[in-house]
Structure 1
Amino acid sequence: MNEIEYKQFYDKVGKMNGWDFSHVKCISEGLQWNFAKEVITRSKTSDLLLDIGTGGGESILPIADSVLLLTGIDRSEQMIRTAIENANRSGKSNVRFLQMDAEKLDFPREFFDMITCRHSNFSAKEAAKVLVKGGIFITQQVSEDDKLNLKEAFGRGQAWGTTAGKLREQYLTELKEAGFTDIQSFDFDVTEYYQTVEDLVFLLTHTPIIPSFGENEHDYRILYQFVLENQTNKGIKTNAARFVITARL
């Protein structure tokens, strides 16, 4: 997908669902890193927190009670609309959601105590601009070898053909150049078992893992063969590969 196609896709998914996959039945095995739990552990009730690429706010709303003010931004207007609806339903009064590009953060300098970013692009320089000295930055990103057997089956996919670790090295370099210190990173890769074909189809139609999935009838024939080859007694097997970076300014 190009930039315009990504925006159209995110707006479409934001209007339909946000990033809510809570009803998708999937069993995960292996070392896992709990994003919300780690952010809560590192935050204080006096903190101002900025979440970049917040989507529908699903992953960040549970953190709201642990900080003074939570501000989520996303470039997709529809995602922000969904996030506001989710916030209203949650009854949390210390949450704000704004449409904004991560490449141009329109906030006062040294305003936030913590910045988080989950599965979304960010600008290290912009983050450094609005983070207080000594502030914490935490990001979890999708690695290039995520859903590797699915991408191999389709012959295309998100970051398909890109060397594993390239994005992590890029972000590590950018954070260092922006003035961040105590930069730490690690990878984790868990095995996933989707319980039904419908669960897997929902994932593929609401994420850019396989771009334009389902627009060609041939995609479903490929998926059918993939399920036959990867069905186990635990479910349909694939993987979730991620990397995490934490840093201080």
Structure 2
Amino acid sequence: MNPKEYKHFYNEVGRLNGWDFSTLRVTVEGAAWNFSDQVKSWCRPADVLLDIGTGGGEALLALADSALLLVGIDQSEGMLETAAHNLGSSGRSNVRFLHMDAAQLHFPDAFFNVVTCRHSEFYAKEAARVLTKNGVFLTQQVSEGDKNNLKQAFGRGQAWNNEPGALKNRYAAELKAAGFARIQTFEYDATEYYHTAEDLIFLLKYTPIVPDFGHDETDFHILNRFIEEHQTDQGIRTNAERFIIIAEK
């Protein structure tokens, strides 16, 4: 997808589903960390936390007990509509959601103790600017090799044919240039087993893994063949490749 197409896709997904995949029935083997647990380990009760690309706010609301104030931002009005609904249902009083571009954060310098970003674009200089001294930035991103067998089957996909490690290396370099003193990177390539075809279709419908999935009838023929070839006793096998960067200011 080009940026305009992705923005439209993300906005529509936001209204329909938010960034909530909790209903998916999937077994994961080999994941080296849980991003929310990583964030919690860096939070203190008096901290103020910013979440960039918060989506429907599902992950941020789950962190509400970990900090004094949590602010989630997103460019998508559709996502923020879902986030507002989720906030109302949660009863949380220490979480806020704002419409904002990550490239221009409308916050004072050194305002946040922790800044997070999960599977979304960020700008290292802005993240560094709004962080306090000794603050920490954490991001988890989708690596180029994610869902590799699916992309091969369809002949297209998110970061299809991009150089392995390119995104991680670019972000690490940008964080270093922004003045972060200590930067750690970690990676994993886990095996995923989707329990049913419906679970896999839900994933493809609400993520950009295979752009424009389902717009052409041949996509479902390809998917059926993929399921036949990758069906196991545990489910339909693919992979989840992720990296995390922890940068201390």
Q: How would you bin the TM-score normalised by the shorter chain?
A: over 0.9
Q: Partner of 2:230 in structure 1?
A: 230
TM-superposition CA deviations, 1:212-240 (whole Å, max 9, x none): 00001110010000000000000000000
Secondary structure of the structure 2 residue equivalent to 1:8: helix
Letter paired with 1:143: S
Give the Cα separation in 2 of the matches to 1:83 and 1:188.
Answer: 29
Distance between the aligned counterparts of 1:6 and 1:101, measured in 2?
15
> Any runs of at least 4 consecutive aligned residues in structure 1 with deviations exceeding 3 A, and if so which?
none
Report the alpha carbon displacement of residue 178 of structure 1 after superposing the two structures with TM.
Answer: 0.2
Provide the secondary structure at the position in 1 that maps to 2:170. helix
1:132 matched to 2:105 = no
Unaligned runs of 5+ in 2: none
After TM superposition, the structure 1 = structure 2 runs for residues 55-204 of structure 1, keeping only pairs within 5 Å, are 55-204=55-204
**Whole-Å separation in 2 of the counterparts to 1:65 and 1:223:** 41
**Following the alignment from structure 1 to structure 2, what is the Cα–Cα distance between the partners of residues 126 and 202?**
34
Does residue 1:217 correspond to 2:217, yes or no? yes
Return the offset for 1:88.
1.1
Rounded Cα–Cα distance in structure 1 between residues aligned with 2:63 and 2:19: 16
Supply the distance in 1 between the matched residues of 2:38 and 2:122 (Cα, whole angstroms).
19
Shift of 1:40: 1.0
Deviation at 1:127, TM superposition (A): 0.5
> Deviations 1:5-52 (Å, cap 9, x if unpaired)?
111001100000001111110001113311111111110110000000
**1:7-86 mapped onto 2 (5 Å cutoff):** 7-86=7-86
2:150 partner letter = L
Unaligned runs of 5+ in 1: none
Distance 2:184 2:197 in 1: 37
SS at structure 1 position matched to 2:59: coil
Q: Secondary structure at the match of 2:153?
A: helix
| Residues 55-93 of structure 1 deviation map (CA, whole Å, 9 limit, x = unaligned) | 001112111111000000011011011111111111110
Give the counterpart letter for 1:28 in structure 2. V
SS in 1 for 2:139: strand
Q: TM-score of the superposition, structure 1-length normalised?
A: 0.99
Which SS does the other structure have where 1:59 is aligned?
A: helix
- Distance of 1:32 and 1:56 partners within structure 2: 25
> Matches of 2:107 and 2:31 in 1, distance apart?
36
Q: Secondary structure at the match of 1:24?
A: coil
Distance in 2 (CA, whole Å) between partners of 1:123 and 1:245 is: 14
Pair 31,17 (structure 1): closer, same or farther in 2 beyond 3 Å: closer
The alignment of Structure 1 onto Structure 2 pairs a total of residues equal to 249
What amino acid is the match of 2:226?
Answer: F
One-letter amino acid matched to 1:6: Y
Counterparts of 1:101 and 1:32, CA distance in 2: 31
Q: What secondary structure does 1:140 align onto?
A: strand
Quote the sequence identity (%).
59
Instruction: Name the CA distance, whole Å, in 2 between partners of 1:43 and 1:100.
Output: 23
Name the CA distance, whole Å, in 2 between partners of 1:248 and 1:223.
43
Within 2, Cα distance between the matches of 1:99 and 1:185? 29
